[in-house]
Amino acid sequence: MSQAPDLSQAPDLSQAPDRAVETVFRIESPRLIAGVARIVRDVGIAEELAQDALVAALEQWPRTGVPDNPGAWLMTTAKRRAIDLVRRRERYASKLQEMGRDLETAPPQVVEPAESVDPDYIDDDLLRLVFTACHPVLSAEARIALTLRLLGGLTTVEIARAMLVPEATVAQRVVRAKRTLAAKAVAFEVPYGAEREARLGSVLEVIYLIFNEGYAATAGDDWLRPSLCEDALRLARVLAALMPREAEVHGLAALLELQTSRAAARTGPKGEPVLLADQDRRHWNLPLIRRGFGALARAHSAAEGAAGPYALQAAIAACHANAPSYEETDWPRIVTLYELLAARAPSPVIELNRAVAVSMASGPAQALRLVDALADEPALKDYHLLPSVRGDLLLRLGRAAEARGEFERAAGLTRNERERELLLGRAESCSPSRGSLPAP
C-alpha cells in the first residue's frame, strides 16, 4: 500500500488572481481567524479582520500577482490590522486614563494567558479556537455551527447540509454565537480540569464534522477537501495525546486515522469519486492503518463499560481495513456494530448505513425494506444518499427503470459536482455493477 497522501498539498494558483484569492482564503481562513483571535480576543472581530485581508488580496493580487506564499501574505495582512486595532484601543484607553503613552511606536501590549506555565499547555491557536467556540454559554447546535464556520471555513450552506438543518437556522446560530461570546467576554484559551471535560463532547463532534466535510465535501467542484481532513486529524491527535484516559478521544482519533488511510484511493485520475468497493486497496496507507488500530486499542483499554459512538465507528472502519476485498469484508459483524451504534447514538443516517451493510450480509431485498422505512424521516428529506442507496438496491433487484429515477433524484439533491457526475452516470447506465453503494 502507498505512503500517506499529502493532505497539505499547495493549492493550484495557476488560475485567475480572483479565483486564486478565493482558493487560498478557503484553505487559510481557519488559521487566519485563530491567529488573529489570539491578538484581539474576539472571534467575531477576528473573522472580520480575516475578511479585510481577503478584500486587500482581491484589490492587490490582480495588479501585483499572486505572492509566492499567499497564506503568509494573508496572515501578515490580517495580523497587522489586528495590531493596529489593539493599538487604537490602547491609545484610547491611555488617553482616557491620561497616561500619555505613545503607542504609535510601541508594540501592542497583548496579555498572554497564565496557562503557559501549566504542563498541559497547548500552544495551538486552532485548538484554542475550537474550545472557545465550544464554550458552554452556547447551545450545542451553536457550538458546532460556529466552529465549522470559523475553523472549517464552511459556508452556511455547507454547514446546513452537514447538520441537516435549514440555511437560515445556521446563519442565525452563527451570528448569535459570536454575539454571545463577545457579550460574555469568553477568553480565547484552552480550558483546564472540569471545564475542559465539560466541553470535550462538543469538541469531538466538531472535529468529526469537519473531517467529514473534508472527506466527502457537501458542495463545490472537489470530492475531497484535504486541508479540512488534515486539520481535523491533527486536532484529534493533539487531543488524544492530551487526554490519554479519554476513551472516546482515542476512538475519534482511530476513526480518522483509518478513514484517512483510504484517501489516496478515493479519487480517480481526474478527481472523480472512487467508492469503497472499487478502490485499489494497494493504495491504502498501512502506517495510518496501524496508527488507527493502535488508537482503537487504546480506546478499548480506556473504556469504562460499553464502547462509545466514535470507538464503534472506528471498529467498523477497522473491519474494512482488515478485509482483503469488499466482498470478503465481515459484513455480519459490521451489521452488529451498526446496531450497537444505533442504540448508543440513534440517527436515521446510521440506520441508512446499517441498511447498506445488511444488503451485503443478507441481500438487497431485506435492505430495501429498511430503506423504505426511512422514507418519511424529516432529517433525510433532502439527503441525497437516501435515493442513491435505494437506487442501487433496486438495480441489484433487477428494477432498473425505478433505479434510474432514484439516481436522478439523488443527483438533483447533491451539491457536489463530482458526486453529481457519478450519480448521473449511474442513472445513464443503470447496469448492475459491483460496489455502487456508498461506504458504510
Better pLDDT: 247 or 219: 247
pTM > 0.75: no
Which sign does the torsion angle of CA 73, 78, 82, 85 carry?
Answer: positive
| Whether the Cβ atoms of residue 110 and residue 39 lie closer than 8 Å to each other | yes
**What is the per-residue pLDDT across 282-323, written as a single tens digit (0 to 9) for each?**
999 999 999 999 999 999 999 988 899 999 999 999 999 999
- For 221-275, the pLDDT digits (tens) are 666 777 778 878 988 998 898 788 999 999 999 999 999 999 999 988 888 889 8
Question: For residue 415, which of 156, 198, 148 has the smallest C-alpha distance?
Answer: 156
Furthest C-alpha separation in the chain: 84
How high is the pLDDT of residue 276? 92
Quick check: 413 pLDDT over 90?
A: yes
> What band does 6 get if pLDDT is binned at 50, 70 and 90?
very low
Q: What pLDDT score does 9 carry?
A: 43
Q: How far apart are CA 126 and CA 189, in angstroms?
A: 10
The span from the CA of 86 to the CA of 255, in Å, is 41
**For residue 54, pLDDT beyond 70:** yes
Give the model's pLDDT for residue 223.
Answer: 64
Where does residue 164 fall: left (phi above 0), alpha (psi -120 to 50 degrees), or beta otherwise? left
- Residue 375: exposed, middle, or buried by beta-carbon count in 10 A (0-12, 13-18, 19+)? exposed
For residue 78, the model assigns a pLDDT of 80
Q: Is residue 438's pLDDT more than 70?
A: no
Q: What's residue 29's pLDDT?
A: 75
Position 90 scores a pLDDT of 64
**Comparing 149-163, 190-204, 214-228, which segment has the lowest mean pLDDT?**
214-228
Domains annotated for the chain, with CATH where assigned, are: 17-110 (1.10.1740), 341-440 (1.25.40)
Q: How far is CA 362 from CA 328, 356, 369, 375, 394, in A?
A: 14, 10, 12, 21, 15
Give the residue-averaged pLDDT of 154-162.
80
Most confident of 61-70, 235-244, 339-348: 339-348
pLDDT of amino acid 103: 40
207: its cell numbers: 472535529
Weakest mean pLDDT among 42-51, 67-76, 90-99, 182-191: 90-99
pLDDT of residue 221: 67
Q: How confident is the model at residue 351 (pLDDT cuts 50, 70, 90)?
A: very high
- Is the pLDDT at 201 greater than 90? The verdict is no
- Integer Cα distance of 367 and 386 in angstroms: 12
The mean pLDDT of the chain is 82
